[in-house]
Homo-oligomer: A and B are copies of this chain.
Amino acid sequence: MISKVRIKFLNSLHLKKFRHEHKAFLVEGNKTVAELLSSGYYVQSLYATASWLQANRELTGNKKIEIFEATAEELKACSTHTQPDEVIAVASIPASGAIPALEKGSLYLALDSINDPGNLGSIIRIADWFGIQHILCSEDCVDAYNPKTVSAAKGSLFRTGITYTNLQQVFAKTALPVYGALLEGENVYKQDLGAKGILLIGNEANGISQALLPYITHPVSIPSFGGAESLNAAMATAILCSEFMRPAAIQP
């Protein structure tokens, strides 16, 4: 059973304010909870149906997690999903550490004011697919622990470092190339991207902010063949990451 106080607590984590007050966030659904439990993230508590608990003993066995058996109805009362899942976990938001040392020859993502939680989740999943270890988010990016972001990232959140920071300060200090995704940059297919560096993606509606434009060493664009005015930020990220990584996937 989940007590009323706990249901209230779980619901409070739907909101950023309370997530950061409690330094905790929700992880919903079988697959993502399974990935959470095999990650380095600290899991505080877990709420699941009797059948889930029985089937997943090996996942929860050796960990100090407060475990609560719950009915489908109770889980529904705490969930953000319209089709509620058999399991919900509460994990700790990791302490925001220092920005990692940005290494030559590696690819990093920098996100400027990404607003949509689903887009941020998709971008995290893309980063993980292409082996990008770290994402730098401007301070006004949407919260990476938003339930919609967690769901869209599908476990990739637990494998990708994310730091909220002042991008201007990062760019001012780095010697790495900064590739800016712009509508009027150079044809990305013709660039030598071998040195990698930082790929900067702008806000969904307004693109990269004025203040960051001077730090772009390589403005790049994805050539258009049709009538669409722009690409969704996550789609552009997917295509650009693919371009950065393809040379490594072609080499024998």
Contact = CB atoms under 8 A, between A and B. Distances in A.
Please give the count of copies of this chain that the complex contains.
2
A154 interface: yes
B187 A226 contact: no
Interface residues of A, number: 39
Given A131-B225, A226-B131, A226-B132, A126 B248 contact: no
Contact of A129 (B125, B130, B224): B224
A249 interface: yes
Nearest to A130: B225
A63 interface: no
A223 interface: yes
Contacts of A227: 128, 155-156, 159
Nearest to A241: B239
Contacts of A52: none
Contacts of A152: 232
Interface of A: 118, 122, 125-132, 152, 154-156, 159, 187, 189-190, 222-229, 231-232, 234-235, 238-239, 242-243, 245-246, 248-250
